[in-house]
Amino acid sequence: MDTSPAAITSSQSVAHSIAQSLEEPTPSPRPRGFATLSAERRRAIASQGGKAAHARGVAHKFSGEAARTAGQKGGIAISRNLDYMASIGRRGGLARGETMRRHDDF
């Protein structure tokens, strides 16, 4: 390990730079492209694109079967996470219990 004054000063400078970058928030970059447009203008452009795609016959359309298949794929993917599934069930049970406590006529 180099303990010369130059090496110590250099390592202190690096440490100072790292500490300073952690303390100071980095300025967010200015919006570019579509981010500079108002929400209304972005919506209008998206609408034009959708109309053009439908006119050309290349717009994607979900059939009932395609939507069902997509939903099944999503359900299978999420149900692999057992901890998440348990938390969903727990929240549902707690909500149901709260409803039962508020309304005795159930």
pLDDT single digits (tens) 83-97: 999 999 999 999 998
Residue 7 lies in a domain: no
Q: What pLDDT does residue 51 have? A: 94
Residue 97 sits in which domain range?
A: 64-106
Between CA 43 and CA 51 the distance in angstroms is 12
Residue 104 lies in a domain: yes
State the pTM of this model.
Answer: 0.36
pLDDT single digits (tens) 9-68: 555 666 666 666 666 666 778 889 999 999 999 999 999 999 999 999 888 888 899 999
Residue 73 lies in a domain: yes
Residue 1 lies in a domain: no
pLDDT at 79 over 60: yes
How many structural domains compose the chain?
A: 1
